[in-house]
């Protein structure tokens, strides 16, 4: 005889039904807020697409041109996502409906963060010249010997249609726009012998993860390659130290050149500034 006080166990069918009613499914959530899900997917999709484009280029799955070429389209999708979210909010307000914020708000935050990430790059493209070769000595730039300078290094230098630079060859135009954009990048003087300075430069380069290609403390020369960003762009660097004050001091010059692309977005200038600042402990130009 069964105990009348024993609880009745629900059947398997009743258990599944109760679980389904207690835990709303993804489909139900999507139906309740399709606009929010759309903005969230697009808002997270844009930065994810950028990461895929950049990492794919870096790992050699496709060329860097394809990876960079995808960026404007990805940014356009992010801008349209933000506009679409604003339209949804305005329409809801006009129709007297409450906006469902959790998903839509998260998507908007992701989109705004992604777009804010690109602001410095957009400013750099708009304000800096489209050059990729930066040096402290425009009259006599340090020369690469162990690393080959890119074949098209003097192609596509801006200013060909500028009346102020009419008659100048590409290298002269490069020096002119370089001086206008980066007047602070100049030779530095260090009160140490050439060999000591080059050894210190080698340690700094290694600390930065640069690949040391050639180093000769006696002649005052160091060449290295810096690999940057998810795209794994390679920028080549040469550092030259010349003796001053009968060997008691050195005049240091540096050159940083991107292997690909036309516009370096200020990356080479930033590298030269930071490296020479750390090497010399000052940004004071050399007195020659």
DSSP per-residue letters across 182-247: -TT---EEESS-HHHHHHHHHHHHHHTT-EEEEEETTTTEEEEEEEETTTTEEEEEEEEEEEETTT
Q: How large a percentage of the chain has pLDDT more than 70?
A: 87
Q: Strand, coil or helix: what is 134?
A: strand
pLDDT tens-digit readout, 210-264: 999 999 999 999 999 999 999 999 999 999 999 998 889 999 999 999 999 999 9
Q: Distance from CA of residue 174 to its chain's centroid?
A: 23
How far from 153 is each of 45, 66, 98, 259, 268, CA to CA, in Å? 36, 21, 58, 9, 14
Query: Buried (b) or exposed (e) across 97-108, using 16+ Cβ within 10 A?
Result: eebbeebbbebb
pLDDT tens-digit readout, 91-115: 999 988 888 899 999 999 999 999 9
- Beta-bridge partner residues of 256: 134, 237
Q: For 49, which DSSP code?
A: H
Of the ranges 4-13, 171-180, 278-287, which one carries the lowest mean pLDDT score?
4-13
Q: Are 138 and 179 in contact (CB under 8 A)?
A: yes
Residue 287: pLDDT over 50: no
pLDDT for 13 equals: 53
pLDDT tens-digit readout, 68-88: 999 999 999 999 999 999 999
Q: Report the sign of the C-alpha dihedral through residues 12, 14, 17, 23, in that order.
A: negative
pLDDT for 104 equals: 96
pLDDT tens-digit readout, 5-38: 555 555 555 545 444 444 444 455 556 899 999 9
CA atoms within 13 A on the CB side of 105: 4
- Burial-class residue 58 by CB neighbours within 10 Å (0-12, 13-18, 19+): middle
pTM of the complete model: 0.82
- Cβ atoms within 10 Å, residue 93: 11
Helices (H), the chain: 12-22, 26-32, 34-58, 64-94, 101-127, 170-181, 194-207, 267-280
Average pLDDT over residues 136-147: 97
Of the ranges 78-87, 161-170, 201-210, which one carries the lowest mean pLDDT score?
161-170
Reference 251, options 184, 186, 187, 185; nearest CA is 187
Residue 67: pLDDT over 90: yes
């Amino acid at each position: 005889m069964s105990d009348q006080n024993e609880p009745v166990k629900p059947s398997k069918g009743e258990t599944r039904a109760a679980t389904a009613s207690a835990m709303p499914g993804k489909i139900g959530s999507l139906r309740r807020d399709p606009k929010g899900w759309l903005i969230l997917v697009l808002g997270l999709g844009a930065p994810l697409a950028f990461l895929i484009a950049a990492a794919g280029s870096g790992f050699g799955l496709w060329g860097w041109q394809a990876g960079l070429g995808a960026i404007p389209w990805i940014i356009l999708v992010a801008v349209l996502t933000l506009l679409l979210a604003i339209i949804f909010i305005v329409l809801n307000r006009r129709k007297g409906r409450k906006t469902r914020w959790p998903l839509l708000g998260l998507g908007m935050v992701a989109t705004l963060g992604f777009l804010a990430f690109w602001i410095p790059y957009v400013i750099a493209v708009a304000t800096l010249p489209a050059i990729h070769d930066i040096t402290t000595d425009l009259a006599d730039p340090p020369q690469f010997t162990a690393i080959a300078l890119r074949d098209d290094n003097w192609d596509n230098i801006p200013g060909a249609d500028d009346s102020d630079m009419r008659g100048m060859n590409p290298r002269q135009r490069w020096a002119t726009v370089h001086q206008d954009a980066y007047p602070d990048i100049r030779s530095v003087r260090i009160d140490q012998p050439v060999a000591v300075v080059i050894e210190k430069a080698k340690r700094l380069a290694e600390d930065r993860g640069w690949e040391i290609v050639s180093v000769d403390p006696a002649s005052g020369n160091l060449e290295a390659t810096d690999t940057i960003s998810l795209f794994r762009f390679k920028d080549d660097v040469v550092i030259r130290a010349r003796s001053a004050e009968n060997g008691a001091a050195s005049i240091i010059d540096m050159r940083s050149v991107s292997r690909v692309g036309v516009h370096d977005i200020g990356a080479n200038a930033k590298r030269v500034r930071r490296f020479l600042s750390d090497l010399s402990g000052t940004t004071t130009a050399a007195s020659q």
